[in-house]
């Protein structure tokens, strides 16, 4: 089938070539049209459905008007898990650990459920399809962990990314130990944006909206001392610093030692160890 199509194309192209030398002297416009016809014929033969053989490289057409924002809902769980898995697959910290995305699922689901218990999380959606393209999941953490009421979620799952969860837990306790005046904070569980929607401020918009709403809640009497995040990627760190977060603690290398004595670190040369960020409200 392909050979027949190529033979037909070669015959048509040969006829076009024979006629072009005559038509070029008569009308450059005609030659231009014939050249376009030849390219279209080539595209029809060699391109896969929906793509052109001579087309320009794909560029994201997403812009700010394509995205809307709202509070996260329980019904978003499936799409939130999809975003979380895409984040894990690309995060250099998790790549350094060397665990699989599927093996990470139980703990990702746990973090999502923890965040959806509260009203602080935000999602970004593609306006026309309502497909989630970003999320900023926030949960509540107290100085006394018994107040967090995590028992309703069941035991913390043990899976491939449990070493990262232990680093986050250590960093949180270290934060409370070194900040005795802080009793209750909002902690970022996951801050993710779809890779096709980077560069249009999805993360920044969600975080700004959350910060504005939390400031209002504090003025209304909500007991929140600040916002923390234990970041494992340099992009998230830079985003939070631009919003006023301060880096206050870096996890020690000793936490990156496996049970067999071997060590692992992030593959990101700019952020080898998880860093705790804090923004006072």
Q: Above 90 in pLDDT, residue 154?
A: no
Of the candidate ranges 21-35, 139-153, 175-189, the one whose mean pLDDT is the lowest? 21-35
Same domain, yes or no: 174 and 242: yes
> Taking the model in full, what pTM does it have?
0.74
CA 36, CA 279: separation in Å to the nearest integer?
58
Q: Above 50 in pLDDT, residue 71?
A: yes
Same domain, yes or no: 179 and 223: yes
Same domain, yes or no: 95 and 13: no
Among 132, 14, 21, 28, smallest CA distance to 73 is for 132
Instruction: Tell me if 84 is assigned to some domain.
Output: yes
CA 117, CA 132: separation in Å to the nearest integer?
19
Percent of the chain predicted with pLDDT > 90? 53
Same domain, yes or no: 107 and 217: yes
Q: pLDDT tens across 15-25, in order?
A: 444 444 433 44
Instruction: Tell me if 54 is assigned to some domain.
Output: no
Q: How many domains does the chain have?
A: 2
Same domain, yes or no: 33 and 132: no
Residue 140: predicted pLDDT: 93
Residue 51: predicted pLDDT: 30
Asked if 175 and 228 touch (Cβ cutoff 8 Å), the reply is yes
Instruction: Tell me if 53 is assigned to some domain.
Output: no
Q: State which residues form the domain around 13.
A: 2-46
Instruction: Tell me if 92 is assigned to some domain.
Output: yes
Q: Above 80 in pLDDT, residue 12?
A: no
Instruction: Tell me if 55 is assigned to some domain.
Output: no
Residue 276: predicted pLDDT: 97
Asked if 72 and 137 touch (Cβ cutoff 8 Å), the reply is yes
Same domain, yes or no: 41 and 72: no
Q: pLDDT tens across 37-70, in order?
A: 443 433 433 333 333 222 223 335 568 778 999 9
Same domain, yes or no: 174 and 225: yes
Instruction: Tell me if 189 is assigned to some domain.
Output: yes
Instruction: Tell me if 135 is assigned to some domain.
Output: yes
Percent of the chain predicted with pLDDT > 70? 78
CA 269, CA 250: separation in Å to the nearest integer?
14
Residue 233: predicted pLDDT: 87
Among 253, 238, 117, smallest CA distance to 186 is for 117
Same domain, yes or no: 68 and 42: no
Same domain, yes or no: 13 and 70: no
E strand or H helix that includes residue 67: strand 67-71
What is the end-to-end Cα distance of the chain in Å, rounded?
68
Q: What three-state secondary structure class fits 194? A: coil
Average pLDDT in the 147-163 region? 83
Q: pLDDT tens across 254-278, in order?
A: 999 988 888 998 999 999 999 999 9
Q: pLDDT tens across 109-146, in order?
A: 999 999 999 999 999 999 999 999 999 999 999 998 88
Residue 42: predicted pLDDT: 39
Residue 61: predicted pLDDT: 55
Same domain, yes or no: 246 and 117: yes
- CATH code at 271? 3.40.630.30
């Amino acid at each position: 089938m392909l050979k027949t199509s190529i033979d037909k194309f070669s015959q048509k192209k040969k006829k076009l070539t024979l006629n072009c030398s005559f038509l070029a002297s008569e009308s450059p416009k005609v030659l231009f049209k014939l050249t376009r016809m030849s390219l279209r014929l080539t595209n029809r033969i060699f391109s896969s459905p929906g793509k052109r053989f001579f087309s320009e490289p794909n560029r994201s057409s997403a812009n700010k008007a394509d995205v809307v924002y709202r509070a996260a809902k329980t019904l978003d769980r499936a799409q939130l898990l999809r975003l979380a898995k895409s984040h894990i697959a690309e995060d250099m910290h998790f790549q350094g650990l060397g665990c699989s995305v599927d093996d990470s699922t139980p703990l990702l689901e746990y973090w999502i459920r923890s965040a959806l218990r509260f009203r602080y999380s935000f999602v970004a959606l593609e306006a026309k399809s309502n497909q989630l393209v970003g999320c900023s999941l926030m949960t509540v953490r107290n100085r006394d962990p018994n107040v967090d009421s995590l028992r309703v979620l069941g035991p913390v799952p043990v899976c491939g990314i449990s070493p990262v969860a232990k680093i986050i837990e250590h960093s949180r306790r270290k934060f409370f130990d070194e900040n005795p005046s802080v009793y209750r904070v909002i902690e970022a569980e996951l801050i993710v944006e779809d890779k096709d929607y980077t560069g249009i401020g999805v993360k920044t918009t969600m975080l700004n909206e959350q910060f504005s709403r939390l400031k209002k809640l504090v003025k209304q009497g909500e007991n929140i001392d600040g916002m923390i995040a234990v970041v494992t990627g340099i992009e998230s760190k830079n985003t939070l610093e631009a919003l006023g977060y301060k880096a206050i603690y870096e996890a020690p290398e000793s936490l990156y030692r496996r049970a067999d004595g071997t060590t692992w670190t992030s593959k990101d040369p700019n952020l080898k160890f998880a860093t705790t960020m804090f923004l006072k409200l």
